[in-house]
Amino acid sequence: MVFLTRKLLFPAGKSVRKHLRSHFLDSLRLTVTGGHGGSGFPKIGGVGGQGGCVYFVAKEGCSLKRVSKDYSTKRVKAAPGEDSSKIRLLGRRGKDEQVTVPVGITVIDDTGRTIGELNEDGKTFKAAGGGPGGCSGNSFIGQPGQSRTLTLDLKLIADAGLVGFPNAGKSTFLKAISKASPKIASYPFTTIKPQLGIVDYTDFRQISVADLPGLIEGAHANIGMGHKFLKHVERTRILILIVDIFGFQLSPQHMRRNCLENVYALNRELELYDSTLLDKPSILLVNKTDLDGATQEFDRIKSQLHRLEQGLEGCPEEIRPEKLIEFERILPISARERIGIEKVTSAIREVLDEAAEENLKEPDVEILARKNREFGPKVV
Ligand SMILES: Nc1nc2c(ncn2[C@@H]2O[C@H](COP(=O)(O)OP(=O)(O)OP(=O)(O)O)[C@@H](O)[C@H]2O)c(=O)[nH]1
């Protein structure tokens, strides 16, 4: 049925991504409702308990995807207040509902107004107030809680995040794609200050690329800048992985990894930290192809880069990923000599546009598929 739905939704000729990714979410709409106030007890002047409130609480390491899974109906309701009774004149307050959200969330109401910012761990925002309990002022009838639909927007660092081991040529690449020298971005919700390069297109579109520094093998286990780095990879729409065509060695104590192994190692680091990062559309840049013998080396490994699953057996166990990254594009470049840079900037734009298009369509498919499951004919 899902297959059929997809076929109907995606017109012929329009390519459906060959592998269906689960979605990276950077925006989520939730309908929040405070609990209903409890009824009062007119005879003895008893007051109903106030309904519970809905709060958003920022927490490090939480993702919008998690919130979406926890509240699959996209509705959050706090508990009603207790009715007043002979044994409890003042009804108890309804239980609050606390929704844990990622740090760096902007809360937007239905009119498009920003009504809250959750930029620090532990920060709380009251999303919906509970209804007042019944009392003499309201004829002892408990009132409904506040109800509204809010959008949780995850603040992004940039459209694309540049991921690579040291010395791969990230800064050089950033300079090559942005006319002005990269800016150091300072965000209130992050501790790192990524270098930000802005790509200017002839039609005045601008796309931002952030160099997220400090990834080394073991980052998932918080070695080096570890988690500080990885948690910011979440805040970009697409990933650009960059590797040195001749490989990389962090220090004499570390193994020398060839180009292909570097790709597996980057894949492994992302996977170990959070495998949903691999769901983001990604581009692989193989850098330093101006060096002697680099073109031949790229031609030699090109097919292996396109079919990572085939090289898995020969991949050292400590960097062997379980879930493989799937690149939308694999491009050889020389960041220093600015070779292949135009192809990269067009690819970034195309991949971002494809991702945006897919994001628009995919939820429809999911909803339709669910509805079909709920109401469609039973297949036994
Ligand atoms: N031959 C050649 N050298 C390059 C190229 N791109 C970068 N380099 C050199 O590689 C070295 C590292 O480049 P960076 O841009 O500083 O690399 P990085 O990934 O930002 O390094 P970290 O700051 O350590 O993370 C420098 O000496 C660059 O000149 C390239 O396309 N060709």
Query: Is ipTM beyond 0.85?
Result: yes
Cα–Cα distances in angstroms (integers) from residue 208 to residues 91, 125, 201, 347, in the given order: 54, 30, 11, 14
Q: Which helix (H) or strand (E) holds 242?
A: strand 236-244
Residue 337 Cα: closest atom of ligand 1: 31
Residue 139 pLDDT > 90: yes
% of the chain exceeding 70 in pLDDT:
79
pLDDT tens-digit readout, 204-234? 999 999 887 666 666 555 555 555 566 677 7
- The rounded Å distance from CA 170 to ligand 1 centre is 7
Where do the domains of the chain lie, and which CATH numbers do they carry?
A: 27-154 (2.70.210.12), 158-361 (3.40.50.300)
Instruction: Quickly list DSSP for 248-300.
Output: B-SSTTSPPB-HHHHHHHHHHHHHHH-GGGGGS-EEEEEE-TTSTTHHHHHHH
Per the CB < 8 A criterion, the answer to whether 201 and 191 are in contact is: no
pLDDT tens-digit readout, 94-122? 999 999 998 889 999 999 999 999 988 89
Both tokens of 359, joined, read 């994001």
The distance from CA 140 to its chain's CA centroid, rounded to whole angstroms, is 46
Ligand 1 close to Cβ of residue 194 (< 6 A): no
- The rounded Å distance from CA 320 to ligand 1 centre is 26
- The rounded Å distance from CA 304 to ligand 1 centre is 24
Strands (E), 292-348: 327-332
Ligand 1 close to Cβ of residue 168 (< 6 A): yes
Residue 242 Cα: closest atom of ligand 1: 19
pLDDT confidence band for 93 (50 / 70 / 90): very high
Which alpha helices (DSSP H) does 134-282 contain, by range? Answer: 170-177, 226-233, 259-273
Ligand 1 close to Cβ of residue 155 (< 6 A): no
pLDDT confidence band for 355 (50 / 70 / 90): confident
- Looking at 179-193, 243-257, 286-300, which range is the least confident one? 179-193
- Looking at 25-29, 176-180, 183-187, which range is the least confident one? 183-187
**In the predicted model, what is the mean pLDDT of the chain?**
84
pTM (two decimals): 0.73
pLDDT score for 212: 74
Residue 213 Cα: closest atom of ligand 1: 25
Ligand 1 close to Cβ of residue 175 (< 6 A): no
Ligand 1: which of 251, 336, 344 to mutate, judged by most atoms within 8 Å of the beta carbon? Answer: 336
Ligand 1 close to Cβ of residue 335 (< 6 A): yes
User: What is the signed CA dihedral for 331, 336, 341, 344, rounded to 10 degrees?
Assistant: 40
% of the chain exceeding 90 in pLDDT:
56
pLDDT score for 369: 53
Cα 317 to Cα 265: distance, rounded to the nearest angstrom: 10
Ligand 1 close to Cβ of residue 310 (< 6 A): no
Ligand 1 close to Cβ of residue 167 (< 6 A): yes
Per the CB < 8 A criterion, the answer to whether 196 and 248 are in contact is: no
pLDDT, greater one: 220 or 340: 340
Ligand 1 close to Cβ of residue 81 (< 6 A): no
